Structure 1
Amino acid sequence: MSTEDGLSLRQNDIAARLTCVVVGGDILAYSYVRELHRAFGIARVIVLASRDIKMLSSSRFTDYRIIEGVTTAAEVLYPALEQIALNERAGDPARRLLVLGCDDVHARLLSAGKQRLQRAGFAVPYIDFQLLDEITQKRRFYELCEELGIPYPQTWYFDCANGPDTLPVHEFSYPLIAKPSNSALFQDATVARKRKIYEIDTPDELQQVWHDIRASDYGAELVIQDFIPGGDEAIRTLTTFSDAQGNLRVVSGGVVCLQDHDPTALGNPLAIMGQREQAIIDAAAAFLKRVGYRGMANFDIKYDERDGTFRFFEVNTRCGRNTYYMSLGGVNFAELIVREFVLNEPIEYREAYEPFLYCCVPPYVLRRSVADRQLLQRALECRAVTHEPYPLAYAPDSTAHALWSWAMYLNQIRKFKRFHWDTGGKQLKE
């Protein structure tokens, strides 16, 4: 039997014997669906969502289930997953199960419930909750960066539950950045004039943001940071996969040519061009080894032209919305998860930097939004040689899915007009 025949038999067995469940309904959810189908021929992925996301519910590869509260509440999610496990194993007691999440809240829920879900039969590809909770607190992340010599922005911390009524706003230099230390807790909080990340231009604006958050139900820290010069083109992203000993096994990354400028989604890259930076890889590898990290991680970084360093902002303890770019770079990211957490196979070291442009916007948006014209030209050249740069465009899927996906794609023109072009590139503040 040839190696190819052995691999085909293994893939056929996975397609018949593995049930994958995705929690959430964003671009990453569909990226899981398409890459599981592409790697193993899995033609049915159960998707649990709290509302109808048409590009997913219309897919021929999803078993789409709407359950109120399933994406945010442990008391809803865990019983729903346990019932799925019972149903799936009723006719096949040896069936394997894998659960995957899409954002910070899902990572926390699945990590916190890991032992319970494993008892139900699920492979849960997330680090233990104690480690997750530690390294997703920005203060602790920066302490580890300091220990390892990894550059990070100058940072101040303020306790939103017990901090001062007013901040010493005139002691800072502007502009600056303000953001929650705990993104998952902030995501569920009710905050007036809420933004994912706050771009602050004046002392009065910072004071208003502080008052809004202090009056909310968010009780962790607010992080205030030095603003690092540069637009979207200065942002870097790195996705890593590491083994049980924290050894880096697969890596991919690039320059963010364009990010989402909707204030509720700021920081989500919409166009990423593959670009290898050894300093970034070395820093991430040291961090992963130091904490003993297993599985997928995503690092947010920005190049600081003032001193030529790459400054690390945070680690996301999960796949990012854009992790499909690892597949574009040559390594199917969903296949890695199955091999490590379901099949327990050793993962060979690989770098996924084949030329690519991950792109969720039409070329018109790129041409009108990317200020660095040389970067724009390189990005358009990479797009021309990238097969399916848009993660929602998957030829084997249904016509209905394609229509909804392209509607989302074209809607980016309207969004960029409102949130970027009409504001002169400044963050829209309402």
Structure 2
Amino acid sequence: MPPSARALLAGALSAVALAAATGVPWSEQGEARGQVAHVSVLEPWYRALDGSADAPATVVVMGDSVSEGYGAVADLERRWVGRLQDNLRATLPGSTCPVGSGGYEGTTSLVPAWYAAPSLPDPQIDGEHLLLDEVGPGGRAVLLGPGASITWRARAAEVAIGYRTGRVGGVLRVTVDGETALAGAAIETESEESARQVWFSATRDVEQRRYTVTNVSRKRYATVTDMTPYLGDRGRCVHVVDASHSGIAASTVSARPDYVRDSISMNPDLLVLPLGFNDARAGRSPEQLQRSVARIIAIARSSGYRGPVLLASWHTPPPGFFDTSWWDYRASLQELAGDRGVAYVDIGSDLPPVAGAPKGVYLDALHPGPRGQELIAAAMTRSLTRTGPVVPGAQ
């Protein structure tokens, strides 16, 4: 797009923010916020949502710290990804899909092998290990040395444990509350194919249990990527998968194909890419962000993903926070919409600018606070449902 056209597009996007500077209370601004560009792209997702009482409908979110929930401390179900899952489950009349707290530290979304973020609780890792940032959903896996282990404590009926295979992979053993799971007595990770695979536990009553994965090999190493807790809903209901990574930039993700492939291995019906803040912080141009996001989409397509992609942009940081206006980055993302099954939504238009925002909306210039998590979830819910319901208590 020529620079003059991009300037016009950026100007149109900034019209919503202008209202915040006119003295009109933010909560009273109009109804035109958060409109999805090329919404017809999302039709396969809407069909999956309609059928989610009987089959899973999965959203994979490959974002940064805004999506991962930096600052959430505990009760991870309060993150917008958890709220979105609950909201979408509640859209189906008579739904029996469980909502609310559960799983690991409150979340029933995917839990990586490590967060390494001050506010997010890491699983327990014992023994020789190496943290890996290029594989696993969200690029967070652990390479376990002989005898090393990783443990999650989760309230669940069953769990799925992700691991990677390779030519020199070791043998993993899964124990549940110290007892060896029958199907998890020996999980061979040696294979000619290098890919993420999943082991499922037996289904039991929903209780708090300790799930430990140990590398029982004498010399070989083995890679564990993640754990997902289920509340008897694995084969049905909406699942919003956190495949995000605090501090990650689109440019970094685009250079790590296995990061993308392992995230796509979650079999999504919709892939959401809310990236860009960290590219802007690093001084990369809007054009560079656009190329990086296009590359991520290309990797997903080449890995077999044929579903819709939703690009999302965030709120407006304080003036001068980035070298280039955030509106230019938003415009660069919107330019990708309509091509290769891509839609775009400006979630930032449903949020007030950081400067002058009501208390609780933001923790700092980039990260949403408790109220901001609610607003993001409400905006995403409107985008991901045909009729765009307003979530009670979120306006």
Using the size of structure 1 for normalisation, the TM-score is 0.27
Instruction: Using CA pairs under 8 Å that are at least 6 residues apart, name the structure with larger relative contact order, 1 or 2.
Output: 2
Higher helix share: 1
TM-score (norm 2): 0.29
